[in-house]
């Protein structure tokens, strides 16, 4: 009996910074511009994951870094606590359903991200991984657009941002989530972290505070101390073991430099920002692929078409720069090591930027899908301009419904592992019989897809548009009844007439 009372008291203390044990904890993936700039991608809409209520901890407690792991990271955040039930609430009324605001620390173990496949169930759901508190701020007494969150590690400030730096206003999370399920009193929304999140080690003390500078209202400092767990922490007979690589280290620490990694020598340099200026992009959108192909041929480039692919939206054109992804032939041991977790395919679709086109090398193997609707949604949310793969597409109807143009060899129901291993991204690849480098300019229309070296793109598109104008004039003359002999191509007499009319 005494033991049960002790356990209940301990459980109650975990939730001392809240009105009670929350039914749901929903966390936002990426919400601050500073963090988006650090990650190199800006979401078009909020995305979320769930955390277990058993992960909640009170201020003054400890969090264990499990034995055999290295990448435990802090994320200071503003926590919203729902005061009244919210279901299908409009944005204008959403803040009325927030009862309180307080500080939170969305701790995560990057060593477990690969096994989670993006869900964060284990990487962020551990006991003590969601400290909240210590005090609640009345949401009625503060301006949600003027709240501040700060984090200190061992007394040194690591994060300092306010809600003016959010990509989405706080109330939008409430309105958005209420479209899908009822937010109940006591539910918690962790609203994302600004730049500055990094790795912490045993002995470190992390403090997070949320306040309203205008009113002086504050959550007080939420204090958590990191301790070392005793091993062995995980059993490989029942689940995946922790695993890290330099990609995880870079993301956990915030940069390669902070992680102690050498500057990357494998990533291709990004195409210069001026390569696709708005004016140049507009020209490419006007120029037909056939005309661009003719101009490249005049300059000695014949092997620049991605063959064997057709668009799921043939009425729409794509223009962008290439972000490359390479698959190698499936080998079971290599798929085990490279096919699961946060693999190269997922990293490429997460990292694709606005106006880029994901180009996939699948060796023209049509016996498997190379993407499905979830990845198409991710690319579309990142405002990618399109996807080109010389392999197949799963969930073809669902992918088409997403709206992003996809050029592929056709539909196939099989999963990736039947034929492919996702191997690497941002490298030189072969797609549909031609070589594609990161940053190459990609243009696609109903005739097909062409690859243009960045150094030639301005010259080629201007020449293609000039030829289109000339061909349009010739077409008018043919429609008037003139024979094509001597007119197409133009002889000296027709050329002189064309130039004279063009001058006028």
Residue among 398, 423, 403 at smallest CA distance from 413: 398
SS3 state at 346: helix
DSSP E strand stretches across 290-400: 305-306, 310-311, 318-329, 356-361, 386-389
Pairing of strands 318-329, 441-445: antiparallel
Please provide residue 198's backbone torsions phi and psi, each rounded to the nearest 5 degrees.
Answer: -155, -175
Region 30-58 average pLDDT: 89
> CA–CA separation, 170 vs 143, rounded Å?
10
**Which CATH homologous superfamily contains domain 11-253?**
Fumarylacetoacetase-like, C-terminal domain (3.90.850.10)
Helices 457-479 and 278-286: angle between axes, nearest 10 degrees? 40
- Look-up of token digits 């990057």: 110
346-372, pLDDT tens digit by residue? 999 999 999 999 999 999 999 999 999
> CA–CA separation, 297 vs 284, rounded Å?
17
Please provide residue 396's backbone torsions phi and psi, each rounded to the nearest 5 degrees.
Answer: -55, -45
Distance (Å) of CA 139 to CA 57, 88, 98, 123: 22, 20, 6, 30
395 is in an annotated binding site: yes
Pairing of strands 76-82, 72-73: unpaired
Look at residue 336 in the predicted model and tell me its pLDDT: 81
405-421, pLDDT tens digit by residue? 999 999 999 887 889 99
Look at residue 141 in the predicted model and tell me its pLDDT: 95
377: buried, middle or exposed (CB in 10 Å: 19+, 13-18, 0-12)?
middle
Token pair of 255, please? 């940069």
Look at residue 429 in the predicted model and tell me its pLDDT: 96
Distance (Å) of CA 351 to CA 43, 132, 347: 10, 31, 6
pLDDT at 274 over 60: no
pLDDT at 280 over 60: yes
| CATH class of the region 278-458 | alpha beta
- Residue 303: pLDDT band with limits 50, 70, 90: very high
- Residue 2: pLDDT band with limits 50, 70, 90: very low
pLDDT at 1 over 50: no
Domain boundaries, the chain: 11-253, 278-458
> CA–CA separation, 311 vs 360, rounded Å?
14
Look at residue 340 in the predicted model and tell me its pLDDT: 77
Distance (Å) of CA 240 to CA 125, 127, 247, 337, 338: 15, 18, 19, 12, 14
Q: According to the per-residue pLDDT averaged within each range, which of 111-115, 118-122, 328-332 is highest?
A: 328-332
Q: According to the per-residue pLDDT averaged within each range, which of 329-338, 394-403, 482-491 is highest?
A: 394-403
Instruction: Quickly list DSSP for 381-403.
Output: HTT--EEEESSBBSSHHHHHHH-
> CA–CA separation, 481 vs 472, rounded Å?
15
pLDDT at 270 over 60: no
77: buried, middle or exposed (CB in 10 Å: 19+, 13-18, 0-12)?
buried
375 is in an annotated binding site: yes
In this structure, the number of other CB atoms found within 10 A of the CB of residue 445 comes to 21
CA–centroid distance for 135 within its chain: 34
> CA–CA separation, 487 vs 478, rounded Å?
8
Where b means 16+ CB within 10 Å and e means fewer, 357-371 reads bbbbbbbbbbebbbb
Look at residue 11 in the predicted model and tell me its pLDDT: 53
Mean pLDDT, the chain, rounded, equals 89
Look at residue 273 in the predicted model and tell me its pLDDT: 43
Q: What's the pTM value of the predicted model, to 2 decimals?
A: 0.55
374 is in an annotated binding site: yes
């Amino acid at each position: 009996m005494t033991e049960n009372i002790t356990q209940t008291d301990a459980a109650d203390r975990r939730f001392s910074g809240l009105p009670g044990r929350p039914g749901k904890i929903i966390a936002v993936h990426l919400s601050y511009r500073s963090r988006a700039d650090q990650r190199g991608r800006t979401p078009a809409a909020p995305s979320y994951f769930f955390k277990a209520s058993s992960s909640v901890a009170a201020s003054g407690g400890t969090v264990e870094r499990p034995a055999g792991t290295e990448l435990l990271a802090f994320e200071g955040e503003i926590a919203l606590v729902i005061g009244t039930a919210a279901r299908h609430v409009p944005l204008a009324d959403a803040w009325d359903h927030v009862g309180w605001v307080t500080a939170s620390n969305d701790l995560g173990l990057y060593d477990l991200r690969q096994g989670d496949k993006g869900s964060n169930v284990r990487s962020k759901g551990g006991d003590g991984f969601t400290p909240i508190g210590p005090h609640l701020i009345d949401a009625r007494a503060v301006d949600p657009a003027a709240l501040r969150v700060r984090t200190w590690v061992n007394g040194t400030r690591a994060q300092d941002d306010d809600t003016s730096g959010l990509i989405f206003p706080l109330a939008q999370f409430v309105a958005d989530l209420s479209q899908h399920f009822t937010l109940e009193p006591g539910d918690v929304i962790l609203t994302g972290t600004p730049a500055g999140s990094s790795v912490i080690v045993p002995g470190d003390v992390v403090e997070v505070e949320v306040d309203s500078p205008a009113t002086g209202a504050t959550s007080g400092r939420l204090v958590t101390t990191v301790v070392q767990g005793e091993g062995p922490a995980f059993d490989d007979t029942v689940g995946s073991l922790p695993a890290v690589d330099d990609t995880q280290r870079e993301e956990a620490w915030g940069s390669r430099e902070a992680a102690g990694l050498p500057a990357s020598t494998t990533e291709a340099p990004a195409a210069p920002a001026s390569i696709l200026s708005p004016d140049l992009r507009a020209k490419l959108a006007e120029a037909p692929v056939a005309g661009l192909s003719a101009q490249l041929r005049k300059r000695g480039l014949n092997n620049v078409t991605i063959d064997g692919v057709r668009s799921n939206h043939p009425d729409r054109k794509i223009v962008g720069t290439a972000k490359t992804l390479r698959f190698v032939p499936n080998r079971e041991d290599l798929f085990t090591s490279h096919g699961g977790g946060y693999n190269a395919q997922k990293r490429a679709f997460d990292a694709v930027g606005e106006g880029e086109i994901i180009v996939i090398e699948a060796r023209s193997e049509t016996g498997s899908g190379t993407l499905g609707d979830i990845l198409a949604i991710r690319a579309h949310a990142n405002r990618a301009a399109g996807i080109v793969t010389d392999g197949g597409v799963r969930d073809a109807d669902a992918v088409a419904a997403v709206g992003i143009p996809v050029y592929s060899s056709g539909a196939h129901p099989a999963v990736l592992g039947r034929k492919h291993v996702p191997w690497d991204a941002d490298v030189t690849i072969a797609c549909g019989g031609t070589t594609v480098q990161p940053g190459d300019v990609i243009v696609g229309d109903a005739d097909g897809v062409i690859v243009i070296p960045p150094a030639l793109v301005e010259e080629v598109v201007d020449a293609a548009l000039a030829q289109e104008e000339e061909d349009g004039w010739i077409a008018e003359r043919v429609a008037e009844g003139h024979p094509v002999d001597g007119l197409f191509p133009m002889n000296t007499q027709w050329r002189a007439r064309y130039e004279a009319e063009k001058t006028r």
